[in-house]
Amino acid sequence: MTEYILTTSPKLKRRHAKEARFKWYGRIAITIALGFLVLMFSAIIFRGIGAFSQTKIKLEVSYTESIIAPDGTRDPQILRLANYKPILTAALKETFPEATSRKDKKRIYKLLSKGAVYEMGKRVSNDLALIGTHQTIWVTASSDVDLFLQGKVDAGLNENLRKLTDKDIQSVQYLQHEGLLKRKFNTTFFTNGDSREPEMAGILGASLGSFFSLLVCFLIAFPLGILTAVYLEEYARKSKLTDFIEININNLAAVPSIVFGLLGLSIFLGVFHIPRSTPLVGGMVLALMTLPTIIIAARASLRSVPKTIREAALGLGASKTQATFHHVVPLAMPGMLTGTILGMAQALGETAPLLMIGMIAFIVDIPHGVTDAATSLPVQIFLWADSPEKGFVERTSAAIIVLLAFLILMNLLAVYLRKKLERRW
C-alpha cells in the first residue's frame, strides 16, 4: 500500500507559522487600539468624575423677612434676586464665631460659591413659606474648597501660588472636622447653563442647544437625504448629469466642516438674516454637512435591496412609485436609519462650523426653542477647556463624558434599529 505523508512537512510548517504570525499581528493591533481607547476613557473619567459631585457647606440660616423682603413682597421674581448675602454672612458668623475682623469675614464668605446667593433666591422663590423661618441647609461651596476636598490642592505649595490660603485651609479643615462639609451629587451640573464660576456651571444649556440643533438638522437632512437617494437610485436615468451629481455628493462628504460653517455664515446669516447663534442656523449648517453622509448611506442600502423584489412588484402591475415606496424603501429603511443616526452622531460632535455662526457665545440662559441663542456640547467643552479656572478642568472632562455617553447611546440606537427592522429574504 502507498504510504501517504499525513504529518507536518517543513513546507506545511512554514505555512502554519505564517498563519500563526498573521493571527498575532491582528491580536496585537487590536490590543493596541483597545489600549488607547481604555487609556482615553480612563483619563477622561478619572479627570471628570469629580465634577459629578459637589461640596456643600451646612449652614443654619434665618430667612429674616426684613432683609429678604423689606417691603413685604411675595413676588417670586423679585424674591429670586433679593439680597441674601447678609443672611449667609450671619449664618457663617454662627459657624465661625472667632472670625470677627472684616477681613476674616470676607475671607470666610469666599468659601461659599458666588452662586450661593442665587441658590438661596431659588429656594425662597420656590417656597415662599420659608420666609421668617430658621432652616438648616446645604449651601454650595466654592470650587476651590471642592478641589481641596478632592485632594487636588497641594497644601505644601507656596501659599501665594494657590487660591486657598493657609487660613482658608484651616477653616475648611475645621468645617470638615465638625461634619459641616459634604460632597453630594452635583445636580447643578445637569440643571444649569454656563457660568463664570465652575461650581455653578452646568451643561443643560449646551445639551439643549445640541438637541435643538440636531432636531433641526434631522428635520432637514433626513427627508432631503432620503428623497435624493431614492430619486437618484430608483428614478434618475444614468447620464452625465447624474454621474456629475454623484461625484459631487461624494466630494461634499469630504469637505472640511468649517467650510460649511463659512457657507452658513455668509448665506444663512448674511443673506437670509437668520438669528445668529441659534440652534436653527446651527441645525441648518449641520444638515448641509450631514446630507452627503445620509445620501451615500441611503443609496447603498437601496442598492442592497434585491432586484427581484422590484421585479416582483412591477410584475404584479405596481407602478414604479408603488414598487419603490411599498417595497424597496421599507426594506432599505434600516440601513437608511443607521446611516442617518451615524450622520447625526457626527453632527453632534461637530464644533468647527458652529464656531463660524456664533454658537460659541457665552450663554447662561437655557434655550427654550430653536431661535434662542445657544451653544452646543462640543463647543461648551471647547469653551471650558479654554477657561483659566482650575474647577473647569474637571467640568471639561465631565462634559466630554456626557457627550460620549450621548454618542454611544446614538450608536446603540443605530445597532438596535438595524437588528429590529432588518428583514431577511
Partner 1 sequence: MKIDMQQVSAIKPPILSAKNVDVFYGKKQAIDSVSLEIPENQITALIGPSGCGKSTFLRCFNRMNDTISICKVTGDIQFAGQDIYGPKVDVVALRARIGMVFQKANPFPKSIFDNVAYGPRIHDLAENKAQLEDIVITSLKRAGLYDEVSDRLHESGTGLSGGQQQRLCIARAIAVNPQVILMDEPCSALDPIATAVVEELMESMKEKYTIVIVTHSMAQAARISQKTAFFHLGKLVEFGDTEKIFTNPVDQRTQNYISGKIG
Q: Which is nearer to partner 1, 94 or 422 (CB)?
A: 422
Stretch that binds partner 1, among 12-20, 106-114, 302-310, 372-380 (CB under 8 A): 302-310
Residues whose CB falls within 8 Å of the CB of residue 184, separated by 6 or more in sequence, listed in order: 53, 54, 56, 138
CB environment 160-199: b (16+ within 10 A), e (fewer): eebbbeeebbebbeebeeeebbbeeebebbeebbbbebbb
Query: Does residue 419 belong to the site contacting partner 1 (CB under 8 A)?
Result: no
CB of 323 to partner 1, least distance (A): 9
Scan residues 352-391 and list those touching partner 1 (CB under 8 A): none
Is 424 among the residues that bind partner 1 (CB under 8 A)?
A: yes
Write each residue from 199 to 238 as x if it is in contact with partner 1 (CB under 8 A), else as -, in one continuous string.
--------------------------------------xx
Residue number with CB closer to partner 1 (26 or 306): 306
Task: Please give the residues from 231 up to 250 whose contact with partner 1 meets the rule CB under 8 A.
Answer: 237-238
Q: In the beta sheet, which residues pair with residue 136?
A: 60
Closest to 353 (Cα-Cα) out of 382, 384, 386: 382
Q: Which is nearer to partner 1, 95 or 324 (CB)?
A: 324
| Cα Rg of the chain, angstroms | 30
Stretch touching partner 1 by CB under 8 A, among 116-124, 272-280, 285-293, 304-312: 304-312
Which phi and psi angles does 5 have, rounded to 5°? Answer: -85, 115
Give 312 or 412: the residue with its C-beta nearer to partner 1: 312
The one segment of 179-187, 315-323, 338-346, 408-416 that binds partner 1 by CB under 8 A? 315-323
Encode 137-193 in three state secondary structure: EEEEECHHHHHHHCCCCCCCCCHHHCCCCHHHHHHHHHHHHHCCEEEEECCHHHHCC
Interstrand relation of 181-185 and 53-62 (parallel, antiparallel or unpaired): antiparallel
Which residues have C-beta within 8 Å of that of residue 46, sequence separation ≥ 6? Answer: none
Among 65, 159, 311, 365, binds partner 1 (CB under 8 A): 311
Residues binding partner 1: number (CB under 8 A): 22
Min CB(340)–partner 1 separation in Å: 22
- H/E stretch holding 348 reads helix 329-348
Contact between 102 and partner 1 per CB under 8 A: no
**Is residue 270 involved in binding partner 1 (CB under 8 A)?**
no
Taking CB under 8 A as the rule, does residue 309 contact partner 1? Answer: yes
44 vs 38: CA distance, rounded Å: 10
Backbone angles phi, psi at 376, to 5 degrees: -130, 165
Least gap, CB of 267 to partner 1 (angstroms): 36
Distance CA 30, CA 314 (A): 47
- The CA distances from residue 115 to 61, 169, 194, 290, 385, in Å, are 16, 21, 12, 39, 21
List the x/- string, 46-85, binding to partner 1 by CB under 8 A.
Answer: ----------------------------------------
Interface stretch with partner 1, choices 152-160, 267-275, 312-320, 381-389 (CB under 8 A) = 312-320
Indicate the residue among 152 and 310 with the shorter CB distance to partner 1. Answer: 310
Question: CA dist 55 to 105, 115, 365, Å?
Answer: 20, 13, 24
| 310 scored as a contact of partner 1 (CB under 8 A) | yes
Instruction: With beta carbons less than 8 A apart as the criterion, state whether 379 and 359 touch.
Output: yes
CB of 335 to partner 1, least distance (A): 14
Quick one: 106 or 320, whose CB is closer to partner 1? Answer: 320
Residues 327-346 that bind partner 1 (CB under 8 A): 327, 331
Q: Which of 322, 361, 408, 416 binds partner 1 (CB under 8 A)?
A: 322
Cα(261)–Cα(283) distance, integer angstroms: 11
- Candidates 8-16, 82-90, 218-226, 314-322: pick the segment binding partner 1 (CB under 8 A): 314-322
C-beta separation of 139 from 112 below 8 A: yes
Q: Does 110 bind partner 1 (CB under 8 A)?
A: no
Q: Which stretch binds partner 1 (CB under 8 A): 93-101, 310-318, 357-365, 404-412?
A: 310-318
Cell (9 digits) for 245: 451629481
Looking at the DSSP bridge assignments, the partners of residue 53 are 185
Q: Which is nearer to partner 1, 9 or 308 (CB)?
A: 308
How far apart CA 356 and CA 259 sit, in angstroms, is 9
CA–CA dist 129, 132 (Å, integer) = 8
The footprint of partner 1 (CB under 8 A) covers 237-238, 306, 308-319, 322, 326-327, 331, 423-425
